[in-house]
Amino acid sequence: MSQRFLTLDDVKVDSKRVLVRVDINSPMKPGTEEIIDDTRIVAILDTLRDLEKAKVVILSHQGRPGESDFTSMQPHARVLQEHLGARCRFIDDIIGPAAIDAIRKLKNGDVLLLDNVRLLSEEVMEGTPEQFAKTYLVKRLAPLFDLFVNDAYPAAHRAQTSMVGFPEVLPAVAGKSMERELKALNKALNEPDRPSVAVLGGAKVPDKIKILANILEKKKVDRVLLSGLMATVFLEASGVNLGEGSRGSLKDFESLKKQAKDLLDKYKDIIMLPKDVAISVEKKRVEVPVGKMPKNASVMDIGENTIKEYAETIARAKTVLANGPAGVFEDQNFAKGTEQILRAIANSKGFTVIGGGHLAVIAKEKKLENTIGYISTGGGATMAMLAGQKLPGVEALYKAAKRTGIK
C-alpha cells in the first residue's frame, strides 16, 4: 500500500487511556439477547491483550435502530468476560456522567465496554470528519484519552462519527484485527501469487458486478468462477435460456444482463460459467445441462461437472479469493456446490481468503476454518474493498498517520 497507517506496534500504550472502536455486532437468537456467533468478539481479543497494561474503553454497536437485534452491549460484555475475566465490565451509558466517571476511575488493566453507540443520533448522522469531530460524542470522550484504536474493520466502509471523528483529534492506530484484515486482502488483491482465482457467488448481484469489473479491469485475477445468482445473470447474457423461474428473482435484470454481456465480451477467456446446474423437482435435486432447464424451474446450485471443473481450477491456483455461496445452501439438497467449493479452497496449497458472510459461517460449521488461509470478519467492508472503493475508517487512519509525520 502506498499510504501507511500506524499500528499498535508503533506506539507505547502502558498506563495510557485508550479508546478502542470495535465492531462486535453479532448474530443473536431471535426474541432473546443470546449471542449465537462470537466470531467478531474473538477477533478483537489480540488487540485487547496488547492493551493489557492500559486503561481500555471499548465503543461498539449492535444492530440498527428499529431492528429486532438493536440491543444494549451487555450480552457482548458477558462474552468478553468469559475471555478476559473480572477486569472487563459494562456500563449502560456512553457520554453521560456515569460513563465519564467510570472512565476517569479506570486502573491499568481495566476494560470498560460502553453501551451501543448507535443509541446516539450523532453516530449515524451525515457529515464530514471535521463535522464529526465537533459532535458531543467526540468532544465529551476525546479529552479523556491518549490514543484511539480502530479495530472495527467490518464497519470500516461506514463514514460514521465514532469511526472517523476521533482520528481527527486523537493519535489513531489500527488494531490487530484491522491490521490482519487489510494485510490479507491487500495480499490477495494487490500482491497475489499467480495464477490468482476469484470465486464469486451468492446474491447482491449489483454489488458483485462492481467487484468483478474492478478485479478484471485492474488485472487482479487470472480466472473468475461464477455461481449463484451471478452465474444466472451471466449465463443469460451469454445467450443461455435458464427459464422464467431464475430471472424472476432479480430486479433490474435487463440492466444487469447488459453489464454482464459487456464484461463477457471483454473478458470471455477469464470468466468461467457453470456447465450444468441443479434444480428442484418434487423437492429433490436434479441436475441438468445449462440451457436445458424446464421453463419455470430455478437454478438452485451448480452441478457436478461444474463443481469438478471449478475444484480443479482452484487446485492449480496460488491465490484464491472467494465471496458468496454457490447455491441455495440453506436447503441441504442444494448445499453440495458451496460445500465442495469450500473444501477445494481448504485443500488448496495456495494463499486462500474468504470474504466473510455466508461462506465464513459455513466454513466454521464444516470445521474448515483452520485450513483456510484467512477468513474475513467483514461483509460490506470486504465487498467495498474488492470493488475498489476507499474505506472511510481506513482513510481516517491514513490521515491521522500523515498528521503525525508518517509517510
Backbone angles phi, psi at 367, to 5 degrees: 55, 45
CB 172 within 8 A of CB 136: no
Residue 172 has pLDDT above 60, yes or no: yes
Residue 195 has pLDDT above 90, yes or no: yes
Domains of the chain: 8-177+389-403 (3.40.50.1260), 194-349 (3.40.50.1260)
Which one, of 18, 5, 47, 12, lies nearest residue 141 by Cα?
18
Residue 56 has pLDDT above 70, yes or no: yes
Work out the average pLDDT over 326-340: 96
CB 135 within 8 A of CB 161: yes
Residue 380 has pLDDT above 90, yes or no: no
Residue 296 has pLDDT above 90, yes or no: no
Q: What is the pLDDT of residues 258-284, one digit of tens each?
A: 999 999 999 999 999 999 999 999 989
Residue 144 pLDDT = 98
Residue 248 has pLDDT above 80, yes or no: no
Among 155-169, 186-200, 373-387, the range scoring the smallest mean pLDDT is 373-387
Residue 2 pLDDT = 59
Spatial strand order in the sheet of 374-375: 271-272, 223-226, 196-200, 319-323, 351-354, 374-375
> DSSP letter string over 200-236?
E-SS-HHHHHHHHHHHHHTT--SEEEE-HHHHHHHHH
Beta bridge partners of 90: 113
Work out the average pLDDT over 134-159: 97
Name the percent of the chain lying above pLDDT 70: 97
How far apart are alpha carbons 355 and 379 in whole angstroms? 7
Q: What is the pLDDT of residues 318-332, one digit of tens each?
A: 999 999 999 999 999
Residue 348 has pLDDT above 70, yes or no: yes
Residue 407 pLDDT = 45
Work out the average pLDDT over 354-367: 89
Q: Which residues of 310-338 are buried (b: 16+ CB within 10 A; e: fewer)?
A: bbebbeebbbbbbbbbbbbbeeeebbbbb
Residue 1 pLDDT = 45
How far apart are alpha carbons 322 and 197 in whole angstroms? 8
Residue 309 pLDDT = 98
Which one, of 379, 326, 329, 395, lies nearest residue 207 by Cα?
379
Q: How many residues does the chain have?
A: 407
Arithmetic mean of pLDDT over the chain: 93
Q: Which three cell numbers stand for residue 220?
A: 487482479
Beta bridge partners of 224: 198, 271
Residue 30 pLDDT = 86
Of residues 369 and 241, which shows the higher confidence score? 369
Residue 289 pLDDT = 95
Residue 12 pLDDT = 95
Work out the average pLDDT over 237-245: 82
Q: What is the pLDDT of residues 30-53, one digit of tens each?
A: 888 899 999 999 999 999 999 999
Residue 406 has pLDDT above 60, yes or no: no
Residue 181 CB coordination number (10 Å): 27
Biggest alpha carbon–alpha carbon distance for the chain: 70
Residue 159 has pLDDT above 60, yes or no: yes
Report if pTM > 0.85.
yes
CB 91 within 8 A of CB 103: no
Work out the average pLDDT over 194-209: 93
At residue 87 the predicted structure's pLDDT band, cuts being 50, 70 and 90, is confident
Which one, of 12, 26, 126, 132, lies nearest residue 79 by Cα?
26
Q: Which helix (H) or strand (E) holds 321?
A: strand 319-323
Among 70-79, 244-253, 350-359, 379-388, the range scoring the smallest mean pLDDT is 244-253
Residue 250 pLDDT = 65
Q: What is the pLDDT of residues 90-141, one digit of tens each?
A: 999 999 999 999 999 999 999 999 999 999 999 999 999 999 999 999 999 9
Residue 356 pLDDT = 74
Work out the average pLDDT over 58-86: 94
CB 220 within 8 A of CB 197: no
